[in-house]
Amino acid sequence: MDGPTILGAIRLFVALLGVAAIVAIVARPIRLPYSVALVLVGLLAGVGATLVGVGQPPQIAPEIVLAVLLPGLVFEAAYRLELGHLRRSAGSLAVLAVPGVAISATIVALFLHLATGLRFDLAFIVGAMVSATDPVAVVSTFKRLRIPPALATVVEGESLLNDGTGLVIFAIALQALAHPVGPADALFSFVATIAISAVIGLGTGFLAARLMSLVDDHLIELTISVVLAYGTYLLTDALHGSGIIATVVAAVVLGNYGRPRTISEPGIDALDTVWEFLAYLLTAIVFLLVGLAITPTRLFDSAVWIGWGVAGALVGRAIVVYLMLRLAVRWLPLARDPAGLPSGWYHVLFWSGLRGAVAVAAALALPVDVPQRDLLQGVTFGIVLFTLLVQGPTAGLVVRRTVSGTDAPG
């Protein structure tokens, strides 16, 4: 990479941060969700650049989202998760993050295939890209809402875990497109990838915690946490595992084992402050880039397919939350929450199924030789835009109407 290219990237980064600060100032008085405002600004910037003839908006490389932005965001969110809440909700999270993702992908694929005639294998690729709720979108939305901590753990924990499983299914779907894969082989690859990634995350998380016990310098501890977040992702990705799953597990280990035992008090303060700041910056950049990546022309060309894709995504989410999760909580001992899930929580879980940066990054990462690539990208972008612009702003209304102080279990 030459000097002018690096300087151009720095200028773009500074410009994005400046825009994010201005958007935050403007959005707060009008009560517009910050994430929605950023996506709209990104969309308008892309349209404006095209209309006035100053050139195309910057091309967003999927590696930037997947390897630069996402690890830091999921690390910060997972580091704050309390293991006690995770244990109580482990069964529900497992149902939502593993079979729930597969069912959502299949329902979207069936809707697109039956309603539009799109080949099922291509439709399933779209389903895989939008099957998982996005941690960036969900966490940023729920940070501004007052919800019971246990519910926040379920929503955020699901988005962090199923993000990784969704990308694993996406990778398997792409492999099946080139080389047919049997159901048994696909299942084995899916389970093995998740298991290996979790083991790597456990190992790096405990290693980082032990290293922090050897020092008493908050700057070194902070440096170790950054290496943990990005090193875990890069190591697991190099081993063809799920970097997101490994990073989430490593962050949970550091937050629940290292924080109370091996990290110094100044180190805890430093990690809390710096990672909150990094997450804020990364969130702003992600949503601006999502807006820039979605082109109106591609949305218009794919309008019919987008409509059916949105319908499939909503129906799939409803089946997973209202049917599968309810049955699991009621009948399966491993998924049964001793405190139960209040009825209002199911509505929040259903409507909080936002998609965002992960789906956009997956769409951008589609190989150029995939049949009907532009259509698949357009449908994915449309579904993402619907969840961010319709479900995101109304999530607070759903929470206020369905979750009250008496809904917290206990």
| pLDDT number for residue 58 | 60
| pLDDT number for residue 407 | 47
Rounded to whole angstroms, the Cα distance separating 24 from 39 reads: 12
| pLDDT number for residue 122 | 94
Rounded to whole angstroms, the Cα distance separating 196 from 245 reads: 10
Query: Per-residue pLDDT for the chain (410 aa), expressed as one digit of tens each?
Result: 567 767 877 887 888 888 888 988 888 787 777 778 888 888 888 777 666 655 555 666 777 778 888 898 889 888 988 887 777 777 888 888 889 999 999 999 999 999 999 999 999 999 999 988 876 666 666 666 677 777 878 888 888 888 888 888 998 888 888 777 777 888 888 889 999 999 999 999 999 999 999 998 999 999 999 999 999 999 999 998 999 999 999 999 999 999 999 999 999 999 999 998 998 888 888 888 888 888 888 888 899 999 999 999 999 999 999 998 888 877 765 555 544 577 888 888 898 888 887 888 888 888 888 899 889 999 999 999 898 888 888 877 888 788 754 444 43
pTM equals 0.83
Rounded to whole angstroms, the Cα distance separating 349 from 328 reads: 15
How far is Cα of residue 154 from the mean position of the Cα atoms in its chain?
Answer: 14
| pLDDT number for residue 290 | 81
CB under 8 Å to 334, separation ≥6 — which residues? 90, 91, 94
Residue 37 corresponds to which tokens in the numbers above?
């405002």
Q: What is the CA radius of gyration of the chain?
A: 21
Asked if 275 contacts 225 with a C-beta cutoff of 8 angstroms, the reply is yes
Q: Which of 287, 294, 314, 300 is nearest to 381 (CA)?
A: 294
